[in-house]
Structure 1
C-alpha cells in the first residue's frame, strides 16, 4: 500500500466514524429534553457512550458485508495477458507498444489532509497532556505541607490520577457531614471509573478535533457524569441527607473554581448548580420496566445507525478500495475487456487494454488493441467501443486510443 493509499484510507475511515458518531449524537441531543425527567440520570449518562462508540468504532470495516462479483477476476502479469490473446488470435503478427505509466511526486490531496489531521490531533492531545503534567508537577511540589501556595493551587475537591487515583482537598475546614458527602462523591467517581472516561473523551476529542459537535458531546457527558454521580450518592440518603448533600454542593460552589485537566471535580461549573440541586430535590425511583424498555429502544436505534454505516461501507466503491491501486486498474482493464467481448460477439472480438494513471488514482488515458478472427470491425463498431470504454473508465473519449491489430 502506497503512502497515498494509506492516507486516503485513514481519512475515509475517520470521516466515516465522525459521520456515524455525529448522527448518533444528534439523535441523543434530540432525545435529551424528552427523557430529562423521565429516566434515571445514570441512564442519561451511559446513553452518551453510544455516541463515543460511533466516533471510535470503524463499523464500515468491522461489519463489512462482503460483495461478490464473479466478473471481477484478478489479472496476472501483462505477459500472461498477451499469451492469452495470442492463443485466440489469428496468425497476424502482433506488435504492441505501451506507453509508460505516468508517475507524479506531488503529494495527493488525501496525503495533505492526513498530515493536517495528524497535526491537529497531536496538538489537541498534547495540549491536554502537557497541562495535566504541569499541574501534577506543581501539585507534587507542594503536597507535603499546607501553605499559602498550596491553598491557591487547590480550590475545590478533586479526584485525580489514573493508576493511583487520589482525592485532593483544598486547605479549608470542612464539617464532618460535608467531608462525608465530598468523599462519597469522589469515591463514587472512582468506582465508576470516571477518570478513564475523562481520558477517553480527551482522546476522542483529539481524533475528531475538526468536528465541533464532539466538543458539545464532551461537555454534555461531563455534565451527565456529575448528575449520575449525585444520583448514585443520594439514593442511599433520606430527605435530610439529600438536603445536606445539596448544602455541600452550594458550599463547594462558593469556592473559586479552576478546572483541572483529566480530573474529576465535585463541582466544575457554577452554571449547572441549579440543575444539580433540582435533580437532587426531584430524585425518585424509576420503574425497572421503563428503564429496560428505553434501553432496548436506544440499542435498537443505535444498531440501525451502525448497520446503515456498515451497509454504506459495503458499497462498490469501498469494495474496490480493498485492492491496491495497481490491482484496481487491472480489475478495470479486465472488466473493460469483458465488456468489449460482449459488445460484438458475432466477430468474436478480443482486446488488450492498457490504462495509464497517476499515483492519485486518476486515469489519464487508455490504449485499446482490438483483435478479430474475421474482418476488422467497421468504424461504427470502433466508435461504439470507444464510447463504451469512455463510460467504463469515466474518461474523455479523446483520451482513448483504439487500434486494430
Structure 2
C-alpha cells in the first residue's frame, strides 16, 4: 500500500516537472519546432503519469545493473586482501539525506501511519471514481443531446459516418471506438465543408480521441495534482493546432485565409462550453482561436535538420524524466523499504575507503540506497545466515558472535548441520573455519 502511494506521488511529481520544463522552453521551441512536435511531446508527461515512471525506473536500473555487473562483483581474493574491517550493521551515508528521503522517514515515525495510508488510499480511489463518473455522465448526456434529431449527411467519406445535427454548434468528432463526424445544421460552402472534414478526418486517422481518453485517465488518477489539469488543457490545444497545421500545409495563402475565416465563423456560431471526453470539436475559446489563426499563416514544411533536432529533444525529455524518476524513487521509495526491512546485511570496508554493502538476500546495495543502522533480532540473523549459505557468500562473523552471546549454540549447530567448514567475513578478511571448533569456542 505504501509502495503504491509512493509510486503515485513520484509519477505525479515527475510528470509535473517535465511539463514545467516544457512550458519554460516553449518560447524557444515555438520558433523552431512544429505544432505536431509540441502535440506529441505534450504526451510525454502523460506517459510518465500512466506508468511510464515505473518503466523508466526499471529500465535505468537494468542498464545500471548491466554496466556495473562487470565491474562490481562479490569481492575476489585480491579485493578481500585489502579489507580492513566488517560491519554487522549498515553505516549511515555521509552528508544530509535527500528531501524526499527525509520526508518519507518522518512519515514512517507516526504511530498511526497505517491508518493514515488507508485513509489516503481510500480518498484517492474515491476521487478517481467521482472524476470518471462526472466526466462519463457529461459525455453521455452531451452525446445524446447532439445526436438527437440528427440525420445522416449525404457525403461520400469511406468508413466514417457523417451526421448533421440541429443541436451541434460546431463540427466535431464523437466516439472512442467508432468515431463519427457531426456537422452543425448551417450553410457552408463546398470548399469550407471540405476543409472542415479534412480537419476532422485527421483527428480520426491519428486516433486523437483515444489519446484524449488516456489524457483523461491520467487526469483521473492524478486528480489531486492541479498541474495535471494544465497538462490536459495544453494537450487538447496542441491537438487542434497540429491538426490545423497539417490541413493547411499544402495550401496557398488564399486558401489559408479562407480556412481561418471558417474557424471564425464557427466561433461566431458557437457558445462557450466545457471540454468533454470523447469529443474533438473545431470550436475553442477566443484566445485559443486567435492563437490558431496566427499559426495558420506561419505553418510550413519542417526541414530534415529540424526533424532530427526535434527527435533529439524528445529523447532528452524522456531520458531526463527517467533520470528524475529514478532519483526520486531512490530517495523516497527505497528509503522506506530498507527502513522496514532492516537495512543492509553487511558492509565491507576496504583499505582505500571503498565500501560494498549487501542486503539480507546477499545482493549488492548501491551507496545511495543505504540507510540508518539497526540491530537484528535472533530470527533475522538466523534467516540471513541461511541465505548466505544458500548463495555461497561468506557469513559475517558478527552474526555468529551475536548468536553465541545469546546462548544459541544449538541453533548454530542446526544451521551448519552437514557442513564441515564455513567461510566467514572477519576483521582480517575472509577466513575458513572448522564448524565444530567454531561452535565450541
Normalising by the smaller structure, the TM-score range is 0.5 to 0.7
Q: TM-score, normalised by structure 1?
A: 0.67
2:276 to 257, 261, 264: 261
Q: How far 1:351 moved relative to its partner?
A: 3.6
1:211 to 204, 208, 225: 225
Given that 1:349 and 1:372 are in contact with CA atoms closer than 8 Å, whether structure 2 keeps it comes out as no
Measure the CA separation in 2 of the matches of 1:316 and 1:259.
38
**Cα–Cα, structure 1 residues 311 and 271, in superposed 2: closer, same or farther, change >3 Å?**
closer
Q: TM-score, normalised by structure 2?
A: 0.62
1:115 to 117, 122, 131: 122
Residues 225-259 of structure 1: per-residue CA shift (max 9 Å, x gap) = 11100000001212211111111111111112334
SS in 1 for 2:173: strand
2:401 to 349, 365, 388: 349
Given that 1:121 and 1:209 are in contact with CA atoms closer than 8 Å, whether structure 2 keeps it comes out as yes
Aligned equivalent of 2:297: 281
Measure the CA separation in 1 of the matches of 2:152 and 2:243.
31
Measure the CA separation in 2 of the matches of 1:55 and 1:241.
40
1:59 is aligned to 2:55:
yes
Residues 10-52 of structure 1: per-residue CA shift (max 9 Å, x gap) = 1111111111111111110111111112211111111111111
Aligned equivalent of 1:31: 25
Structure 1 residues without counterparts, runs of 5 or longer = 1-6, 71-103, 353-368, 374-405
Q: How far 1:313 moved relative to its partner?
A: 3.0
Superposed, 1:169-318 pairs within 5 Å as: 169-257=183-271, 258-259=273-274, 261-262=276-277, 263-314=279-330, 318=334
**Cα–Cα, structure 1 residues 54 and 238, in superposed 2: closer, same or farther, change >3 Å?**
same
How many pairs does the alignment contain?
312
SS in 1 for 2:13: helix
Aligned equivalent of 2:432: none
Aligned equivalent of 2:175: 161
Q: How far 1:264 moved relative to its partner?
A: 0.4
Measure the CA separation in 1 of the matches of 2:116 and 2:152.
56
Q: How far 1:174 moved relative to its partner?
A: 1.0
**Cα–Cα, structure 1 residues 34 and 60, in superposed 2: closer, same or farther, change >3 Å?**
closer
Q: How far 1:334 moved relative to its partner?
A: 5.9
**Cα–Cα, structure 1 residues 322 and 131, in superposed 2: closer, same or farther, change >3 Å?**
farther
**Cα–Cα, structure 1 residues 204 and 69, in superposed 2: closer, same or farther, change >3 Å?**
farther
**Cα–Cα, structure 1 residues 47 and 145, in superposed 2: closer, same or farther, change >3 Å?**
closer
**Cα–Cα, structure 1 residues 69 and 171, in superposed 2: closer, same or farther, change >3 Å?**
same
Residues 243-285 of structure 1: per-residue CA shift (max 9 Å, x gap) = 1111111111111233452200012222212111111112223
Measure the CA separation in 2 of the matches of 1:174 and 1:291.
37
Q: How far 1:324 moved relative to its partner?
A: 9.0
**Cα–Cα, structure 1 residues 273 and 59, in superposed 2: closer, same or farther, change >3 Å?**
same
Aligned equivalent of 1:370: 406
Given that 2:209 and 2:280 are in contact with CA atoms closer than 8 Å, whether structure 1 keeps it comes out as yes
**Cα–Cα, structure 1 residues 105 and 303, in superposed 2: closer, same or farther, change >3 Å?**
closer
Aligned equivalent of 1:49: 43
Root-mean-square deviation (CA, aligned residues, Å) is 3.8
Moved more, 307-316 or 324-333: 324-333
